[in-house]
A and B are shown apart, each in its own frame.
Chain A
Amino acid sequence: MKMNQNFSTVAQRSPSELATNKVLRNTYMLLSMTLLFSGVTAMISMALSMPPMTYLISVIGAMVIAMFVLPKFANSPAGIGIVFLVTGMLGFGLGPILTMYASLPNGGNIITLSLGGTGVIFLSLSAYALTTRKNFSFLGGFLMVGFLLVLMAAIVNIFLAIPAMSLVISAVVIMIMSGFILYDTSRIIHGGETNYVLATIGLYMTIFNIFISLLQILGIMGGDD
């Protein structure tokens, strides 16, 4: 009787686990392709010597598309094209930022460390969430409120332009985005996110924000060399 129950449990669990694994596999595959695509568009933008305003225009355009257009097409093949459009735009916007950092005396080092650091943070936190299989759904409210507060602080600092405040904001953004990596990965594992297009854009945004914040922190801290 107990054996039958065990078989029944295995039989019931398998389809959902298979579905979860499929979402995870598709998410990581699409994420790696979009990261590569962003790298290509960033290099094109650098080669074209795009002006600094490109970053602002690209980020605003990409955010509008990601928030208002992508959810409508998330369940259709067009959703994949829109993810590439959004990530390509964000990568293109990075071009002038990377050009500016590359012109610093140790700019190459800052960019390499930011890129490598972002990779290490993402991979280690993903591995932590995947191996422990902890449920981080309790972080949802905390992360959203923290993100709103840091956005408001960023608005204030646009006008105040205090370097120390920029440093604190960047550090807090990395902490919050690290939390979102755990939260989003846990949502996929526990079946809270079944759409790999939306899962990909969520994880991509965390990686993008960590990279930008690391660039800023290392740029400020390494700027006096």
Chain B
Amino acid sequence: MDWMQIVSALALGMFVIFLFPRAKDAMQNSPKGSSSDWMGFIIPIVGIVLFIMLLIELV
């Protein structure tokens, strides 16, 4: 096994441990979004997906 793989996994693992309390806090304290709020998020994300598909066609 490559030492770079081990260091990468360790670094990502440390990052997960560092982010975990923040994620837990964000989950507990984030306001709930309405269905229209979620649509306002989903529509541009669908646009991004279509754009990436276009980029794949261009490459």
Q: Which residues of A contact B (CB under 8 A)?
A: 52-53, 56, 59-60, 63, 67, 106, 109-110, 113, 117, 120-121, 124-125, 128, 132, 134-145, 147-148, 151-152, 154-155, 158-159, 171, 174-175, 178-179, 182, 214, 217-218, 221-222, 225
Contacts and interface: CB of A to CB of B under 8 A. Distances in A.
B16 to A, nearest CB: 5
Nearest to A128: B44
Given A67-B18, A182-B41, A155 B9 contact: yes
Interface string B26-59: 1111111100010011001101110110011011
A139 B59 contact: no
Contacts of A134: 37, 40
B33 A139 contact: yes
Name the residue among A63, A138, A147, A178 with the largest chain B CB count within 10 angstroms.
A138
A25 to B, nearest CB: 23
A134 B27 CA distance: 20
A140 B22 CA distance: 10
A178 B51 contact: no
A225 B4 CA distance: 29
Contacts of A139: 30, 33, 41
Given A148-B23, A214-B55, A141 B30 contact: yes
Please list the 8 inter-chain residue pairs (A to B) with the smallest Cβ-Cβ separation, ordered nearest first: A138-B33, A222-B59, A141-B27, A144-B23, A141-B30, A140-B30, A140-B26, A144-B26
A218 B4 contact: no
A67 to B, nearest CB: 6
Nearest to A134: B40
B20 to A, nearest CB: 7
B55 A179 contact: no
24 contacts: A56-B11, A110-B59, A117-B52, A117-B55, A120-B51, A134-B40, A137-B30, A137-B31, A138-B31, A140-B26, A140-B30, A144-B27, A145-B27, A151-B12, A152-B16, A155-B9, A155-B16, A158-B12, A159-B1, A175-B48, A178-B48, A214-B52, A214-B55, A218-B55
